[in-house]
Every structure is written in structure tokens, then in C-alpha cells.
């Protein structure tokens, strides 16, 4: 009995000891591949490999986990744990290891190269490299482009030139931007222009001459060019093409008088140049050659049509600014009664006769310069320009090379006289709108006229209710008094 009891105790103890046997801990090792770190746990039975309490790999007798290089260039440490468990045995204790995983190296784009060359008027700076190129001066982006960027620096105003500190960068896709490439570029200055004395301008003379050729009798010109110092004179002749501009021939050296004997509008330009001097200022002269048909074939005139329908010619004189003007007095006696009942503003028709060519409001080649009535009262009507009677005017025209003829008028002082004395129609005093009655409508029209003197709807004779020769607020008062008292 004692032997049986002893045998039972021995078997029980062996069973207990066998049931509590633990698998040995695995071994952890690792190696660097150049792009990752491979961690390996080896041992008995089933191997499990953990990081941060997460199962990363498992296998029989071995478990492997490849950790790629980190984004952080400084790298990172990983706390690794591993267990092993054989069949019929308890799982092993944790094997622990700290594994350092390097960071990925930062790949930087190579620096671009800076070069430059001189064109004779500027310096062209070029930066070339990989990827997107940026070229800077004084921290400012001056140019950019793929694989190349260039910036053209014109010569400076300082004759001594200037140095420019240039920087450039390059950046390929997926790489860091390069370091700055630096260069100092010298840009020359513009040389000072030599100072030369200017040649004195020649004197351009035009003498009218009568010719007879295939066109018939011609009022032409003989042109001479006289030097004011020892110099060579060059000239060219322009012929007006239509109304807007001249078509010039080539410059020619002057040797003998120039004859203009064919009809047309001409412009003679000339300049002189002496040895060792700059060419002179250009001088020019506009001339009209026409067929002789009597008076006014050439010259510049403004023609006014008086109250009797007759033309009155006034010569236009050239001023220092190149425009041609005439001073006119549109008195009531001569012009006051034109077109009774039709022109309530007493507008006097006029047109221009320039070198035998008519210029009126219906001509496309002229443009009227309009403005405030008191400063520029020129209107267009029935193919003519018109001006209100009763004032002094300066009327004229000038020629613009690009846009053709412009005509204008400047209104001066009012002329003395009572407009009603020269009225051919039965204009009613105070009847500003010409409807044959004096009413509030006349007051409204006068107010509109005072606010907008360009109005042509008002009858200035009728609106001058106080007969002082002008339209003003006093005429409104006079009309109100008349409407209340029914007498003037």
C-alpha cells in the first residue's frame, strides 16, 4: 500500500511539472538594407512579433517585419517585442529590443548654372539646370521657366554701368529646392551722346507764278531754298492723298529752284546740314496749285452769308501756332435778319474756302471743335457751319496730320444794337420758344438755355425780354412781370 501511494505521488508531481513547462524566449535581431530595417524573431514553436502592442508578423520558428526608412530625417526608435510557444507548452515571456530605423535622406536638386552675355545694348542673364528654374535680383523674381530662365537687362543711364547681384534656384519634382547659385553681373551704361552744334535751318521761299500747260492756265509756284550758313540742303515734296495726309517722295539734295505747276495740294519740307554739325530743324510750307479761274483760286478764306443771301469773304491769316484765323463782327445790320422764322437763334451760315477747296459742315474731311456756347458756339446746319448773330468772333481752322481739317470759333464781346430793329420777322417780345405766345414755357426754355448754352431751340431775340441785348435771369423777371401786369 505504501508503494502504491508513493507511485501515485510521483506521477502527480510529474504531471504538474509537465503542465507548467514554458517555451523559451525567442531571439530578436535586425539588419539595415539601405532603404529599410528588417527585424527578425527566431525561436521554438510559433513566433509572434509585436510593436506598440500590435502584432506585426508571425510564423513558425521565425517572424520577419520590414520597417521602411522614416519620413523624419532624424529617424525613429521602435520598441519591439516577441513571444514563442511550442505545442503543449506555455507561451514564452516577452523578448524585448529597441530598434533604430533611420530617416530617408533628403534629396536636394543640384544648383543651376548662371551665365550671361552682352548684346551691345543689354546684358542677357541665363540660369539653366534641372526642373523649375527661378532667377532673382534683389530678392525679386525676375524670370522663371522649365530648365531655363533668362532676364535681359538694358544698359543703364549711368555711363559707368552697374553691378547686379543675381541668384538662381532649381527644383526637380519630388526633390528639395537647390541652394542659391550666385553671380555678380556687370551691366554697362549707355555712352554719353556726343554734343554737336545744330545747323541753322534754311529759308524756304515760294513765289507765285502763272503757268500754262495741258491743264490750262495754272496758278503755280517757284520754290527756292536759301542756306543761312555753309551747308547742304535736302528737301522732299508731299502731295495730299485725299484730305487727311500728304504722301511724300524721297529726300533729295537741293540744287535748283523747284517748280510746282500741276494742280494739287503740296507740302514742301526741307532741312540743312553742315559739316561737323547736326541737321537743322525741318521747315515746311503748304501750297495749293490750282487752275486759274479768277479770284480766290488759292488762299484761305472764311465766307459768311449775310441777311440778303450774299457772300462776304474774309481772308484767314496764319498765326504762330500754325492755325489760320479771321476776326469777324456779326452785327445785326448785316446779318440779323437771315431766314426769318426759321433760325430763332439768328445763326449766320458760313463755310471755308481753303486753296480753292470748299470745307463745310457736310464735308467728311472736316471736324468742328464744339464746346460751351459762350466759348465755342460753332454749329452745323444745312451743309454749312453757323454762328449766332450779335457777337465778335475769332474764326479759323487748323490742319491735323492724322485727322484732317478742324474748324473752330471763339466768341468774344457782344455787339451793340437792338436785335429787334433788324428782325425781318414778327418776333414777339418774351416769346423764347417761338410759339407766338408768352407763357411759363418761355421761362422754362430760358432756364434750360442758361444751364445749357448749347441749346439751339431758343429764340434769342424773343428771349431778350428786357431788351438789354443779352439773355439772362433778368429776362425771366421781365416775363414774370409781364404775365402779372399784361404790359411791358
Confidence of residue 239 (pLDDT cuts 50, 70, 90): confident
Mean pLDDT, rounded, for 154-180: 90
Q: Is the pLDDT of residue 356 over 80?
A: no
Confidence of residue 186 (pLDDT cuts 50, 70, 90): very high
CA angle 67/70/74 to nearest 5° reads: 130
Q: Dihedral sign, CA of 55, 58, 63, 65?
A: negative
Q: Distance between CA atoms of 64 and 28, rounded to whole angstroms?
A: 10
Q: Distance between CA atoms of 264 and 118, rounded to whole angstroms?
A: 52
The region of weakest confidence among 114-123, 137-146, 218-227 is: 218-227
For residue range 440-455, list pLDDT tens digits in order: 999 988 888 888 876 6
- Domain 300-419: give its CATH architecture: Sandwich (2.60)
Mean pLDDT in the chain? 81
Closest by Cα among 405, 480, 408, 411 to 443: 480
Please tell me the CATH code under which domain 426-485 is placed: 1.10.1330.10
Residues contacting 345, CB < 8 A, separation 6+: 388, 456, 458, 459, 460
Mean pLDDT, rounded, for 130-143: 93
Q: Distance between CA atoms of 2 and 223, rounded to whole angstroms?
A: 164
% the chain with pLDDT above 70: 79
Grid cell, residue 414, equals 457782344
List helix spans (H) across 249-386.
Answer: 332-335
Mean pLDDT, rounded, for 133-157: 93
DSSP per-residue string spanning 404-446: EEEEEEEEEEEPPS-GGGG-SS-PPTT-TT-SSS-SHHHHHHH
Q: Distance between CA atoms of 82 and 58, rounded to whole angstroms?
A: 9
The pLDDT of residue 375: 46
Q: Would residue 45 be called left, alpha or beta, if left means φ above 0 and alpha means ψ between -120 and 50 degrees?
A: left
Fold of the 113-187 domain? Immunoglobulin-like (2.60.40)
Closest by Cα among 302, 391, 386, 395 to 344: 386
Task: Give SS3 for 317.
Answer: strand
Please tell me the CATH code under which domain 23-101 is placed: 2.60.40.10
Q: Where in the chain is the domain with CATH 1.10.1330.10?
A: 426-485
- Does 1.10.10 match the CATH number of domain 203-291? no
Mean pLDDT, rounded, for 464-468: 75
The region of weakest confidence among 26-35, 166-175, 416-425 is: 416-425
Closest by Cα among 112, 73, 106 to 174: 106
Q: Is the pLDDT of residue 56 over 90?
A: yes
The pLDDT of residue 385: 83
For residue range 62-115, list pLDDT tens digits in order: 999 999 998 888 899 999 999 999 999 999 999 999 999 998 877 899 999 999
Q: Distance between CA atoms of 398 and 386, rounded to whole angstroms?
A: 18
Closest by Cα among 194, 184, 190, 193 to 121: 190
Q: Distance between CA atoms of 286 and 300, rounded to whole angstroms?
A: 11
Q: Where in the chain is the domain with CATH 2.60.40.10?
A: 23-101, 113-187
Confidence of residue 372 (pLDDT cuts 50, 70, 90): very low
Residue 453 φ/ψ, nearest 5 degrees: -65, -10
Confidence of residue 55 (pLDDT cuts 50, 70, 90): very high
For residue range 302-352, list pLDDT tens digits in order: 888 877 777 788 888 887 777 788 888 888 777 775 444 444 556 788 888
How many CA atoms lie less than 13 Å away from 353 in the CB half-sphere? 16
Grid cell, residue 485, equals 401786369
Amino acid at each position: 500500500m505504501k508503494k502504491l501511494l508513493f507511485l501515485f505521488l510521483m506521477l502527480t508531481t510529474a504531471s504538474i511539472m509537465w503542465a507548467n513547462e514554458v517555451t523559451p524566449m525567442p531571439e530578436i535581431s535586425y539588419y539595415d538594407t539601405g532603404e529599410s530595417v528588417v527585424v527578425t524573431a527566431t525561436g521554438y514553436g510559433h513566433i509572434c512579433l509585436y510593436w506598440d502592442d500590435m502584432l506585426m508578423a508571425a510564423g513558425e520558428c521565425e517572424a520577419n517585419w520590414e520597417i521602411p526608412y522614416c519620413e523624419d530625417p532624424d529617424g525613429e526608435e521602435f520598441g519591439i517585442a516577441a513571444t514563442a510557444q511550442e505545442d503543449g507548452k506555455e507561451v514564452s515571456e516577452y523578448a524585448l529590443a529597441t530598434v533604430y530605423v533611420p530617416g530617408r535622406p533628403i534629396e536636394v536638386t543640384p544648383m543651376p548654372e548662371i551665365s550671361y552675355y552682352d548684346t551691345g545694348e543689354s546684358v542677357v542673364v541665363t540660369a539653366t539646370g534641372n526642373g523649375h528654374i527661378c532667377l532673382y535680383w534683389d530678392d525679386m523674381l525676375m524670370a522663371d521657366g522649365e530648365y531655363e530662365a533668362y532676364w535681359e537687362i538694358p544698359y543703364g543711364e549711368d555711363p559707368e554701368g552697374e553691378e547686379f547681384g543675381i541668384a538662381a534656384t532649381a527644383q526637380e519634382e519630388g526633390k528639395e529646392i537647390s541652394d542659391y547659385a550666385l553671380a555678380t553681373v556687370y551691366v554697362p551704361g549707355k555712352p554719353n551722346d556726343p554734343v554737336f552744334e545744330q545747323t541753322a535751318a534754311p529759308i524756304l521761299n515760294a513765289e507765285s507764278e502763272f503757268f500754262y500747260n495741258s491743264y490750262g492756265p495754272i496758278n503755280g509756284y517757284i520754290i527756292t531754298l536759301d542756306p543761312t550758313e555753309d551747308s547742304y540742303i535736302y528737301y522732299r515734296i508731299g502731295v495730299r492723298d485725299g484730305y487727311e495726309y500728304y504722301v511724300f517722295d524721297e529726300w533729295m539734295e537741293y540744287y535748283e529752284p523747284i517748280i510746282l505747276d500741276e494742280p494739287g495740294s503740296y507740302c514742301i519740307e526741307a532741312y540743312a546740314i553742315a559739316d561737323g554739325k547736326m541737321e537743322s530743324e525741318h521747315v515746311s510750307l503748304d501750297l495749293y496749285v490750282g487752275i486759274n479761274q479768277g479770284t480766290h483760286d488759292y488762299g484761305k478764306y472764311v465766307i459768311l452769308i449775310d441777311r440778303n443771301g450774299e457772300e462776304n469773304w474774309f481772308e484767314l491769316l496764319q498765326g504762330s501756332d500754325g492755325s489760320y484765323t479771321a476776326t469777324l463782327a456779326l452785327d445785326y445790320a448785316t446779318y440779323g435778319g437771315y431766314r426769318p422764322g426759321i433760325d430763332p437763334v439768328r445763326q449766320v451760315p458760313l463755310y471755308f474756302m481753303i486753296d480753292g477747296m470748299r470745307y463745310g459742315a457736310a464735308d467728311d474731311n472736316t471736324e468742328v471743335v464744339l464746346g460751351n456756347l459762350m466759348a465755342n458756339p460753332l454749329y452745323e446746319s444745312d451743309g454749312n457751319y453757323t454762328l449766332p448773330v450779335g457777337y465778335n468772333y475769332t474764326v479759323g481752322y487748323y490742319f491735323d496730320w492724322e485727322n484732317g481739317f478742324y474748324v473752330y470759333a471763339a466768341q468774344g464781346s457782344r455787339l451793340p444794337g437792338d436785335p429787334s430793329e433788324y428782325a425781318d420777322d414778327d418776333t414777339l417780345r418774351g416769346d423764347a420758344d417761338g410759339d407766338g405766345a408768352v407763357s411759363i414755357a418761355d421761362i422754362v426754355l430760358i432756364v434750360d438755355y442758361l444751364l445749357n448754352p448749347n441749346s439751339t431751340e431758343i429764340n434769342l431775340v424773343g428771349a431778350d425780354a428786357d431788351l438789354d441785348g443779352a439773355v439772362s435771369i433778368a429776362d425771366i423777371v421781365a416775363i414774370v412781370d409781364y404775365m402779372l401786369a399784361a404790359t411791358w
